[in-house]
Amino acid sequence: MITANYIKNEYIRRMPSAFCPGCGDGQILNAIARAIDHLKLPRNEIAAVSGIGCSAWIPSPYLRVDSLHTTHGRPIAFATGLKVANPKLKVLVVSGDGDCTGIGGNHLLHAARSNVGITVIMVNNGVYAMTGGQVAPTTEHEYKTVTTPYGNPAFALNVSEVVAAAGASYVARWTTWHMNQLIRSIEKGLTKKGFSFIEVISQCPTYEGRILNMDHIQMLHWFRDKFKTDEKGVFRIGEFVDIEKPELTDELQKIIEKVRK
């Protein structure tokens, strides 16, 4: 039986975490560790890369694997280099919505396009939380944040759809309410040959909660009631893409073999 205590002792560097009470990041850390455990992956074959933001702290310092905590927006580019240099590594990127689609949006598109075999977990809480709740590319229209005090004039990006269109091998979206589905998707992502992308809608009780006028429990219930895999939900979750196609490091290896013949 996998207990939280076992997961903590085996995969977590240290606790308590710096996350706010009720933050979804701790749940996602739990999910990642459980997925690694289910797959029985040796820890030395996993490298975790993150950028800047609250969710960047999930792997660094808490996940007990080789971790690279990089500059804002660039974790996917760092991870691409790491993966290409050592294709045996399972490279896991944990990035927030601002890190992944705002400052680092270009890298996300091109990693999906080149189908490099890394797994990106994007924690989506709809705001820039670490810097104090500013508007993000994922903030809904007319929502008030500290930098859109009169309402967001722009619209939210549907990240999973964009990544799917860009050519990823695996795309799924879950929430922190859907823990078991999330763990299964992370397992699938880690075993997928090509680029895998898992969006996790997560609760930020401190800043998102202020926008939505909800606490973290209410947000979890909102995820439960409004986020559905079919048309019944206000927001769509589920697996969107699950295909096999040639992966970048394999293709680079083929080029080497062709040239050296």
Interface with other proteins by CB under 8 A: which residues? 1, 3-5, 7-8, 12-13, 15-17, 19-27, 29-30, 34, 42-45, 47, 49, 60-61, 64-71, 73-74, 77-86, 88-89, 106-107, 109-110, 179-180, 205, 216-217, 220, 249, 252, 255-256, 258-260
Alpha-helical segments (H) within 73-231: 75-85, 97, 105-114, 159-166, 179-191, 208-212, 216-226
Alpha carbon of 147 to those of 182, 191, 205: distances in Å? 31, 40, 18
- Side chain identity at 209, as an amino acid letter? G
**CB 27 to other proteins: min, Å:** 5
- Side chain identity at 207, as an amino acid letter? Y
**CB 170 to other proteins: min, Å:** 21
**CB 67 to other proteins: min, Å:** 6
Of 217 and 243, nearer to other proteins (C-beta) is: 217
**CB 65 to other proteins: min, Å:** 6
Of 242 and 250, nearer to other proteins (C-beta) is: 250
**CB 171 to other proteins: min, Å:** 20
**CB 187 to other proteins: min, Å:** 15
Of 49 and 135, nearer to other proteins (C-beta) is: 49
Q: How are the residues of the chain apportioned to helix, strand and coil, as percentages rounded to the nearest 5? A: 45, 20, 35
> Sign of torsion, CA 178 179 180 183?
positive
Of 42 and 151, nearer to other proteins (C-beta) is: 42
Give residue 70's Cα distance to chain centre. 15
Of 243 and 252, nearer to other proteins (C-beta) is: 252
Judge contact between 174 and 242, C-beta under 8 A.
no
127-128 and 227-228 strand pairing: unpaired
Distance CA 104, CA 99 (A): 6
Of 24 and 102, nearer to other proteins (C-beta) is: 24
Distance CA 116, CA 197 (A): 11
**CB 10 to other proteins: min, Å:** 11
Which residue(s) pair with 123 in the sheet?
96, 200
Judge contact between 57 and 49, C-beta under 8 A.
no
Of 106 and 142, nearer to other proteins (C-beta) is: 106
